[in-house]
Amino acid sequence: MALTKELIAEISQQLLEAERTSHPIDPISPKYDDLSYEDVYAIQLKSFDIRVGRGEVIVGKKIGLSSRAMQEQFNINEPDYGIVSHRMVLREGQPIPMKRLILPRLEPEMAFVLKEDLKGPGVTAAAVLKATEGIMPAFEVIDSRYKDWKITVKDSISDNASCGAIVLGGRLTPISDIDLRLVGMVLEKNGEVIATGAGAAVLGNPAESVAWLANKLADYGITLQKGEFIMSGSLVRAVPVEAGSSLKATFDRFGSVSAFFE
């Protein structure tokens, strides 16, 4: 680890302040040539220690960079992840104020709601399906507390994998007879279809993405817990949003989720 505990705590505070004020800071990767993945995940975990100390409750996890195209873009060979607290989950139909964000983008995803704990190592896609109560259609609002999205994957990880907010659709669907690879999705912005995708875009199967996370978190002694939801990764590229943007993602057999930015 290149960073001291004091510097990790300082960067965590800076990121939390950037989120609170919507004023981004300079990325950290250019400042520390020997910045490690251990460093940036330590920053992320420290930020959540602070959040929990302020009364926030962890309700889920998110997986990012789950498509091969995004991994190639960032020159990595696995996804990253972040943590979701209850204050990050917004009610569907509640207008999302742009003033609380910096440069937001939107991603349509499948959210796995767990009925059993998942603890790695050794978790498989089959174990994920067995432990899943059902799927909810969801949006992740990604946002960077670093300036102008000029980031590396290490910057993103330190910034909670660039998670801004989560919007969950209103329907939970059991998956016992559904092949998640083949679930289609249509994304509309202001009434116009702008993208389509399928579950196979997420590591070949979104359940593989959740299995990866359970096994990755085993390195830190963290378990995916019953009742949590897991954002498995976007089916399409992130879409920029502006004030006045209205978006809707419709998933085959899972229903829809919508979001409006003001």
Amino acid found at 161: A
Q: Give the domain CATH number at 214.
A: 3.90.850.10
* Per-residue confidence in pLDDT tens, the chain, 262 aa: 689 999 999 999 999 999 999 999 999 999 998 899 999 999 999 999 999 999 999 999 999 888 776 666 666 667 889 999 999 999 999 999 999 999 999 999 999 999 999 999 999 999 999 999 999 999 999 999 999 999 999 999 999 999 999 999 999 999 999 999 999 999 999 999 999 999 999 999 999 999 999 999 998 899 999 999 999 999 999 999 999 999 999 999 999 999 999 9
Domain count, the chain: 1
* Predicted TM-score (pTM) above 0.85: yes
Q: How far are the Cα atoms of 57, 61, 87, 234 from residue 92, in angstroms, in the given order?
A: 20, 19, 14, 18
> What range does the domain containing 10 cover?
5-260
State both tokens at 41. Answer: 């995940």
SS3 105: strand
Residue 256: count of CB within 10 angstroms of its CB: 17
Q: What is the DSSP string of 11-59?
A: HHHHHHHHHHHT--B--STTT-TT--HHHHHHHHHHHHHHHHHTT--EE
SS3 98: helix
Q: Are 110 and 199 in contact (CB under 8 A)?
A: yes
Residue 193's φ and ψ, nearest 5 degrees, are -70, 120
Q: Are 239 and 105 in contact (CB under 8 A)?
A: yes
Which pLDDT score is estimated for 67?
A: 74
Which pLDDT score is estimated for 69?
A: 62
Residue 30's φ and ψ, nearest 5 degrees, are -70, -20
Which pLDDT score is estimated for 82?
A: 95
Amino acid found at 239: V
Which pLDDT score is estimated for 74?
A: 67
Which pLDDT score is estimated for 79?
A: 86
